[in-house]
Structure 1
Amino acid sequence: MQSTLGVGFLGAGPVTQAIHLPTLARLGREFTVRHVNDIDASVAERLATRAGAAHSTSLEVLLDDPAVDVVAICSPRAFHAEQAIAACRAAKKAVLCEKPFAMSADEAGAIAAVAKETGVPIVVGAMHVFDPGWRAAVAHWGELPASSHTIRSSIILPPNARFEDVATEMLARPDFPTPDWSDVEVRAGMVHAGVMGLAVHDLPLIRSLLTRYDDLRVISATVLPPFGYRILMVAGGKFIELQAVVSGTWQPSWVLEAYADDQVLHTEFTPSYVHAGSSVSTLTTAGSAQVFGPTDANGYEAEWLELAAIVRGEVAPPDIDALVDDLRFTVAVADSAADILRSAHRTEGAA
């Protein structure tokens, strides 16, 4: 019988606790949690005890652990590039890095260079990319990337804690300070964080619908308290709208749509942290509709199963250059939206 792949987690926060550990518990034939690493020794130990794994506060200790075949990077995103490079240098069998896998094009390029040099495959944990309902629609959408003219991403969510607490008994979660909305740099930072932390789920899907993005132009950007954004932009000759609002009172909704003159794609994703099967995609053409999903497996399971297949040599790893392009596009949107907010503030001040 084939042995399971040993997984080591860098970061023991909500994503590890409420997303990946419950997912791997359902995939016990493929994976075993072997090591949990966190700067908080108490959280690392308590979570490792739950999983029957080793624990540490040192990156080097986890990378030196021979039981760890796959490194799952779930730390704050500022550390992703450094840790992904270190995991590749440690000659692990694969790396799963939470999105975004870098914070700049230069960081992404450095990761790509090391991944190519070492041959270690990198999977970015963008669960919507792997979602079976989405992938089925992609396989049937025909000329939609060329013919679509309008793309919309609409996200309405309660605070993460609502879903985290349903998924698991949380050991700890970070405190989020109340932002000073009067400070333009705070607002610019919030819209940047919104793109890098929330829109990043959908931007790789949106990029797959673009023939180009080097002509990206952000028309407007607005911060929506307590946390959210509305961004209007043009790229590849298409009009793109990104909107997200976190609210404790609205019903959750996560929808991505693409419109052409004779075709519409409407995909409804389950919210983050929710283990409830795949998305449902409806592809409407000339009055007829094809519906894909829901399937029992969600995007989280699909990304881990694909990683296992990559390690076994059954499927090719993701194109690292395509992952870099996804990151470049995401950073360009985040940077441009933040700059638009700063520019609007200067214009208001000069009026």
Structure 2
Amino acid sequence: MSQQAASQHAAPADRPLLGVGILGAGPVTQAIHLPALARLQDILEVRHIMDVDAAVASSVAARVGATAGTSMAALLDDPAVDVVAICSPHQFHADQVIAACRAGKKAVLCEKPFAMNAEEAARISAVSAETGVPIVVGAMHTFDPGWLAAEQNWGDLPGQVHTIRSSIVLPPNARFEDFATEIVTRPAAGRPDYSDPDVIKSALRGGIMGLAIHDLPLVRRFTPDFTDLEVLQVFHVRPFGYAVSLRTPTRVIELRAVMNGTWKPQWTFEAIGDDAALHIDFTPSYVQAGSAVATLTRGNGSDTRTFGPYGHNGYEGEWRELAGLARGTRQAPAAQTLIDDLTFALAIADATAASAGAGHAGAAGKAGVTP
């Protein structure tokens, strides 16, 4: 950021800017986080960007006038960095979250999933409790003002819900990324061998942990008995997608997604009860199209309330939350909530992959979730 730009967006003297350091400068950082942070220059400033590719780090950091580097340790040692965002490949998340907590940063944002298994999640929880550093997981829909408004107004809906649906129809991420920004070093796309059952299983597991996981914390909000989960049917959808039906003793859960050449993206979430229903239309995250619109309906439809659209989406919302946590004006989420969200997602992903069989329609099976 230039000195002139910095002066134009300077924070009040009693609320200095929080410095942001980002580990990983790939498409999510470039197309989502940097545009969101650009709208929050009165509270947050990108000061350090790290990527294992020095050219990528330098190119992306130059866009915001930040320090560039290839060393995580250098970023964590940088006194100008108050808040760390972890946008690296999944397998590095746990160790990097723990390192950021031990470095004494004020708050940590980690892209989902924040851990790959329950053991990693427990380690993160212990270190967060030990250091007092709050952690936010980047499930952006939980920070969307449309969702939050619905949550504040839905009354007894969670207790009466019997059916929950997440339905996603999107073009491939690359198309959104191209709309949003000039991406540096896009990974080469391959052609999966869908005649290989292991490829199908990997695609299904990846679909749950990479796409469905955005809505699974919302699903769990309406699923009090999530520890007793049964997979009814699984289908792999080409070129990339899934159709998964599950149930608990009191709920039916439907997860649907397809990424293809569609011209009109659609992302909806529904929770349907005996006397009330919630319908949410989420915007595609990459195009920075504002908040979700939530509709609450009761009875025969005569009582309908709509919330949104609001001026920002869930990605901006999570950064606002992170700034509040760093300043101590917001309360950190309970570690057990993050662990329960993760174990719920892992259980569905593992059971979905295990259920993939002949014709890619799985037999019913139990999904083990440890409360």
* Aligned match of 2:25: 12
- The structure 1 segments of at least 4 consecutive aligned residues displaced by more than 4 Å after TM superposition are 342-348
* Aligned match of 2:342: 327
Task: Deviation per CA, 1:144-172: give whole Å up to 9, x if none.
Answer: 11101001100000011221122212122
After TM superposition, give the deviation of residue 274 of structure 1 in Å. Answer: 2.1
Q: Secondary structure at the match of 1:21?
A: helix
After TM superposition, give the deviation of residue 236 of structure 1 in Å. Answer: 4.7
After TM superposition, give the deviation of residue 342 of structure 1 in Å. Answer: 4.6
Percent identity between matched residues is 57
> Take 2:176 and 2:270, find their aligned partners in 1: how far apart are those partners?
24
* Aligned match of 1:291: 306
Describe the shift of the 1:111–1:342 C-alpha distance in structure 2 as closer, same or farther (beyond 3 A).
Answer: farther
> Take 1:159 and 1:343, find their aligned partners in 2: how far apart are those partners?
27
Describe the shift of the 1:180–1:317 C-alpha distance in structure 2 as closer, same or farther (beyond 3 A).
Answer: same
1:271 aligned onto 2:271: no
2:90 aligns with one of 73, 77, 95: 77
* Aligned match of 2:264: 251
1:302 maps to amino acid: G
After TM superposition, give the deviation of residue 200 of structure 1 in Å. Answer: 0.5
- What is the TM-score when the length of structure 1 is the normalising length? 0.96
1:181 aligned onto 2:186: no
2:246 aligns with one of 233, 236, 240: 233
1:27 maps to amino acid: L
CA RMSD across the alignment = 1.5
- What is the TM-score when the length of structure 2 is the normalising length? 0.91
After TM superposition, give the deviation of residue 249 of structure 1 in Å. Answer: 2.7
> Take 1:252 and 1:301, find their aligned partners in 2: how far apart are those partners?
20
Paired residue total:
348
* Aligned match of 2:328: 313
* Aligned match of 1:137: 150
> Take 2:79 and 2:70, find their aligned partners in 1: how far apart are those partners?
17
User: Which runs of no fewer than 5 residues in structure 2 stay unpaired?
Assistant: 1-12, 364-371
* Aligned match of 1:304: 319
> Take 2:335 and 2:180, find their aligned partners in 1: how far apart are those partners?
31
Q: Secondary structure at the match of 2:174?
A: helix
Task: Deviation per CA, 1:30-75: give whole Å up to 9, x if none.
Answer: 1111111111111001111111111111111111111111110001
1:214 maps to amino acid: T
> Take 1:144 and 1:178, find their aligned partners in 2: how far apart are those partners?
44
2:206 aligns with one of 190, 193, 207: 193
After TM superposition, give the deviation of residue 250 of structure 1 in Å. Answer: 4.3
1:223 aligned onto 2:236: yes
After TM superposition, give the deviation of residue 24 of structure 1 in Å. Answer: 0.5
1:3 aligns with one of 11, 16, 24: 16
1:90 aligned onto 2:90: no
After TM superposition, give the deviation of residue 120 of structure 1 in Å. Answer: 0.4
Describe the shift of the 1:310–1:183 C-alpha distance in structure 2 as closer, same or farther (beyond 3 A).
Answer: same
User: Which is further off, 319-328 or 334-343?
Assistant: 334-343
